[in-house]
Amino acid sequence: MKLLMVLTSHDTLGDTGRKTGFWLEELAAPYYVFIDAGLNVVLASPLGGQPPIDPESDKPDMQTADTDRFRRDPIAQQALANTLRLDTIDSSHFDALFYPGGHGPLWDLAEEKASITLVENFYANGKPVGAVCHAPGVLRHVKTVDGKPLVEGKRVTGFTNSEEHAVGLRDVVPFLVEDELKRLGAKFEHTDNWGVYTLRDGHLVTGQNPASSAATAE
């Protein structure tokens, strides 16, 4: 079984002058859930090559057994340094799709035509689509084959308004994941801030926050 993980290429946190990118643990923990289950994992990003790591996720107090393992893993490091360009991906070559979060995806992957088309193709063909934390925001323009928002009427979760407020970025992000999914008609559910929470509705799987990354992958 072959799984595609899609990472952001966006590294600027609005007009704050700070950097962003993908959240390291949200890549590392799911990566090893998939690898240890025997899946062939391929990494991609809009620009290809090395995607930006959110500096906040790279701090010593944010490290876990999975991030440590990822750093020591030469195969994983090689894959991260050489992600495929998203617009070169043929969805028919993969069996499942997963999006790690971080704030970066709200700027590029949510608007990226190649990403939108990819999700639509995976979903229309009955293949699992997963997204954790901010990554459910990449579904905002995704449609079903009948032209409706993919998330309409579906139980989903993602980074909450309350969590965004807690990290002080509610007025920085281009949109709030919770508000946007609700606007599209999703049945948005969540637990307390930073708690583990995942949902599966058909073959769409979403997780609320970094703590939920491994559980979402599982």
Residue boundaries of the structural domains of the chain: 2-217
CATH architecture of 2-217: 3-Layer(aba) Sandwich (3.40)
Q: Report the alpha-carbon distance of residue 208 to residue 101 in Å, rounded.
A: 10
Q: Report the alpha-carbon distance of residue 206 to residue 188 in Å, rounded.
A: 10
pLDDT at res. 122: 98
pLDDT at res. 181: 98
pLDDT at res. 13: 97
pLDDT at res. 56: 96
pLDDT at res. 11: 98
Q: Report the alpha-carbon distance of residue 137 to residue 34 in Å, rounded.
A: 22
Provide the edge-to-edge strand list for the sheet that holds 84-85.
84-85, 40-45, 2-6, 96-99, 129-132, 204-207, 198-201
Q: Are strands 96-99 and 2-6 parallel, antiparallel or unpaired?
A: parallel
Beta bridge partners of 132: 207
pLDDT at res. 84: 98
Residue by residue, pLDDT tens for the chain (218 residues) are 999 999 999 999 999 999 999 999 999 999 999 999 999 999 999 999 999 999 999 999 999 999 999 999 999 999 999 999 999 999 999 999 999 999 999 999 999 999 999 999 999 999 999 999 999 999 999 999 999 999 999 999 999 999 999 999 999 999 999 999 999 999 999 999 999 999 999 999 999 999 999 999 99
pLDDT at res. 90: 96
Burial of 195 (0-12, 13-18, 19+ CB in 10 A): exposed
0.95 exceeded by pTM = yes
pLDDT at res. 156: 98
Furthest C-alpha separation in the chain:
47
Q: Is the separation of the CB atoms in 127 and 97 below 8 Å?
A: yes
Q: Report the alpha-carbon distance of residue 137 to residue 179 in Å, rounded.
A: 10
